[in-house]
Structure 1
Amino acid sequence: MVISGFLAGALGAGLLRHLPRGANVCWLWCAVPTAVLWFVAWALAPPHWLPVPLLLAWLGVLLVATDLRHRRLPDALTLPAYPVIGLTLWLCGADLWRALAGCVLFGGFHLLVRLLVPSAMGGGDVKLAGSLGAVLATVSWLALPVGALLASTITLFVGLWWRLDGVPHGPGLLAATWLVAVSAG
């Protein structure tokens, strides 16, 4: 599983370079974290649910690397995440109506925050939140507020060492959702 994760992360870094606005990140920044997260998911998640944390780890590492390096979450990854996550949830036997409700609730909450306080988060965070809300709601309804609180806490900690203007919220969203998903087993 470690080798598969390493290769998936390295291939993901190559994919980032070919995006419309190209994200140039070191391939090791994607390969090593993906390998570690895949190993942890493989060790903790039940077999029927394993594709969800594996997908979240791969997508999450690519998006976090891009967000930290270029200060953006590319549409070329956030928008296709909706059907890919939906398909993965369906293959894992998830209730798709529940996932859709979580998508609308979590995405809508982040959109509301963005509309009320535009400096609080970027548009990419809002686009990403819906697909992650689908995963969280599939785990449980309680996972939605837990995920939001955990994401805010992680973002707060990132802000302690992040010295540029504005703190990226994408890493917090992705890490929180992955943690909830991997512990769902």
Structure 2
Amino acid sequence: MNTVVAATVAAAVCAALPIPLLPRVVGSFDPVDGRLPRRATPAPAVLGAVTAVLIAAVAASTYPHPGRLPAYLYLTVVGVVLAAVDLRVHRLPDVIVLPSYAVLAALLAVPALAEGAPGRWPRALLAGAVAWLLYAGLRLLPGAGLGRGDVKLAGLLGVATGWLGWSAVVVWLVATTMISGAVVLVLLALRRVSRRDPIAYGPFLLFGALIAVLGVGWEPAG
């Protein structure tokens, strides 16, 4: 048990090492339409604190399965960057999202074998494909407001939640839909946005996935 605790702490510490670089990464992306950023780059202290709290939460939620930590801690740090970039300039950069497919798939292959549940890996890939197709279809609906980046991110998060199980995929999709709907309704009621204003959807996708990981990340392989 002490070995598991030590491995969990070590993984969390390693995941926190890039924190000082995150503000620079977030600030390096400009809007694709040439407009000014919608928000300033988050303060280093704020971005660092949020990332550290999420790293600790994900590490605790996957205990006692340290083999899963590299994948989900990687997604945590990348997710913070993507959420901040999307809120700032309404972009989910391909240079981050697309390579993350390969990284996440590789990192999830190891614990699938180590935990004696090799079926988790193909299920993760299938869930990623299903999520990609689902959001690609939703993007075609009138007034959906989804971008291609949202579709690509959905596929990535489908892989991450699918590895944990179909129940995690459902939790992610339901949480994303409910939270995004509630936040948009509040913003409309407060007249902070209009029905025509674009709203960054990436943070909702990421927050929904975080809820799924926190909820079922501790479950044993199966």
1:25 aligns with 2:57: no
Scaled by the length of structure 1, the TM-score of the pair is 0.86
Shift of 1:132: 0.5
Contact 2:124 2:160 in 1 (8 A): yes
1:34 alignment counterpart: 51
1:154 to 179, 204, 212: 179
Moved more, 97-106 or 41-50: 41-50
Gaps of 5+ in 2: 1-8, 113-117
2:6 alignment counterpart: none
Shift of 1:16: 3.2
After superposition, where does 1:1-185 map in structure 2 within 5 Å?
A: 7-18=17-28, 25-26=41-42, 27-46=44-63, 47-93=66-112, 95-117=120-142, 119-159=144-184, 160-161=186-187, 163-164=192-193, 165-183=197-215, 184-185=217-218
2:4 alignment counterpart: none
Moved more, 33-42 or 157-166: 157-166
Shift of 1:63: 0.9
2:115 alignment counterpart: none
Scaled by the length of structure 2, the TM-score of the pair is 0.73
Aligned residues: 185
Q: Deviations over 1:114-146 (max 9, x none)?
A: 122363311110010111101111111122222
Paired amino acid for 1:15: V
Paired amino acid for 1:121: L
Taking the aligned partners of 2:46 and 2:29, their CA distance within structure 1 comes to: 17
SS of equivalent to 1:25: coil
Q: Deviations over 1:97-124 (max 9, x none)?
A: 1111011101110000012236331111
Taking the aligned partners of 2:25 and 2:132, their CA distance within structure 1 comes to: 26
Taking the aligned partners of 1:106 and 1:78, their CA distance within structure 2 comes to: 15
Q: Deviations over 1:68-118 (max 9, x none)?
A: 111221111111221111112113226321111011101110000012236
Gaps of 5+ in 1: none
Percent sequence identity over aligned pairs = 30
Contact 2:128 2:154 in 1 (8 A): yes
Go from structure 1 to structure 2 and tell me whether the alpha carbon gap of 1:158 and 1:56 turns closer, same or farther (over 3 Å shift).
farther
Taking the aligned partners of 2:101 and 2:203, their CA distance within structure 1 comes to: 18
